[in-house]
Structure 1
Amino acid sequence: MKESHEKLRMMMVTALFAALIGILAQITIPLPLVPITGQTLAVGLAATILGSRYGTSSVLLYLFIGAAGVPVFAEMSGGLAKIFGPTGGYLLSYIPTVYITGLILEKTRFTVPMAFLANIIGMLLTLIIGTVWLKYMSSLSWTVAFASGFAPFIIVGILKAFLASWLGITIRSRLATANMLPKKNATLSR
């Protein structure tokens, strides 16, 4: 019985994080090809707080909802055309990003420095996949793709990685104290 309660609780938390990604996606700073959004911050928070399994589930749910046409992507957009469009690589990159970021933390320690390192790796993964996708889907040169899909996001990405780390570990610690995380996943080291 207790295991079914834990599963239900984690399903609700996973859905909550999918909604959080959709909400933070609406915080945008428009740029010519790829806007700066709050999505990547939410993905980093999901990985840092929920780990690889539930973080990935939240991203998959978010992408499924968006692919179905619900306007949860940046600038209140949705649909398969957005996923397979020029910036779709960033959206699809959230799957390996959240998984690898969460996995790094699970294999090491849930501390702010380790979370920062894991989120930096995740940020770079998102930028690399997104930029490669942008280059091929928009028929851009590598220079233009890098200048519009990678370079403008480095400093903002570092800031978001720090915020996801600091907020994520703080929130994770409080959720663990309140017994809101699965027992095998709740070990913390600040």
Structure 2
Amino acid sequence: MTDSSSRLKMMIVSALFAAIIGIMAQLTIPLPLVPITGQTLAVGLAATILGSRYGTISVLVYLMMGAVGIPVFSGMSSGLGVIFGPTGGFLIGFIPAAFITGYYMERTSFTLPQALVANIIAMFVTLIFGTVWLKFVAELSWTAAFMAGFVPFLIGGFIKAFLAAWAGILVRGRLLANRLLIA
């Protein structure tokens, strides 16, 4: 397979994962300030399966789709108002989270233990970005922002990190075996 066709294949897979993130964002448990969504699980899957470059590209495409008005954010929302609103820090935090997950795994190995570590690190990155953003946009105290934007998401975050690691390694192996993914 030529280099350009390999790149095209990975860009198509990245776009597919951007759509998957948008679909998973609709799985929502509403909370007062910030809902619990499936998009963090999908971001972890994208980075675990695709690595740093294409995992990050899939997140950037997802954010661009939402920014231009395609209703891919939680609750079928979209627009710059969502990105710059109280939950925007979590969305922006997906970018470094995806990159760090993929980068960590590329530097270590694509195994379940390494994927779990990478996804837990990414969970904390996303929560830190989201909490800091929430503090300033919602004009909350650090304690209130921490209690609203960090603490409620820890247990779910660990569960989603495990699921992303487990399913990501499983799916990555199968995609590689069937030559549907370029390592």
Normalising by the smaller structure, the TM-score range is over 0.9
Trace 1:99-114 onto structure 2 (pairs within 5 A): 99-114=99-114
- Partners of 2:181 and 2:2 in 1: how far apart? 13
Deviation at 1:151, TM superposition (A): 0.3
Deviation at 1:4, TM superposition (A): 2.2
- Partners of 1:174 and 1:59 in 2: how far apart? 22
Give structure 1 regions of 4+ aligned residues with deviation exceeding 3 angstroms.
none
Trace 1:43-58 onto structure 2 (pairs within 5 A): 43-58=43-58
Deviation at 1:2, TM superposition (A): 2.0
- Partners of 2:123 and 2:98 in 1: how far apart? 10
- Aligned-residue Cα RMSD (Å) equals 0.8
2:162 aligned partner: 162
Deviations 1:18-71 (A, max 9, x none): 000000000000000000000100000001000000000000000001000110
Aligned residues: 183
Deviation at 1:6, TM superposition (A): 1.1
Structure 1: runs of 5 or more not aligned: 186-190
Trace 1:140-159 onto structure 2 (pairs within 5 A): 140-159=140-159
1:188 aligned partner: none
- Partners of 1:96 and 1:4 in 2: how far apart? 26
The alignment partner of 1:72 has SS state of: coil
- Partners of 1:180 and 1:105 in 2: how far apart? 19
The alignment partner of 1:75 has SS state of: helix
TM-score, normalised relative to structure 2? 0.98
2:30 aligned partner: 30
Deviations 1:102-154 (A, max 9, x none): 00000000000100000000000000010000000000011111111000000
2:6 aligned partner: 6
Counterpart check, 1:178 vs 2:150: no
- Partners of 1:7 and 1:152 in 2: how far apart? 39
Counterpart check, 1:16 vs 2:9: no
- Partners of 2:3 and 2:47 in 1: how far apart? 22
- Partners of 1:140 and 1:170 in 2: how far apart? 41
Question: What amino acid is the match of 1:43?
Answer: V
TM-score, normalised relative to structure 1? 0.95
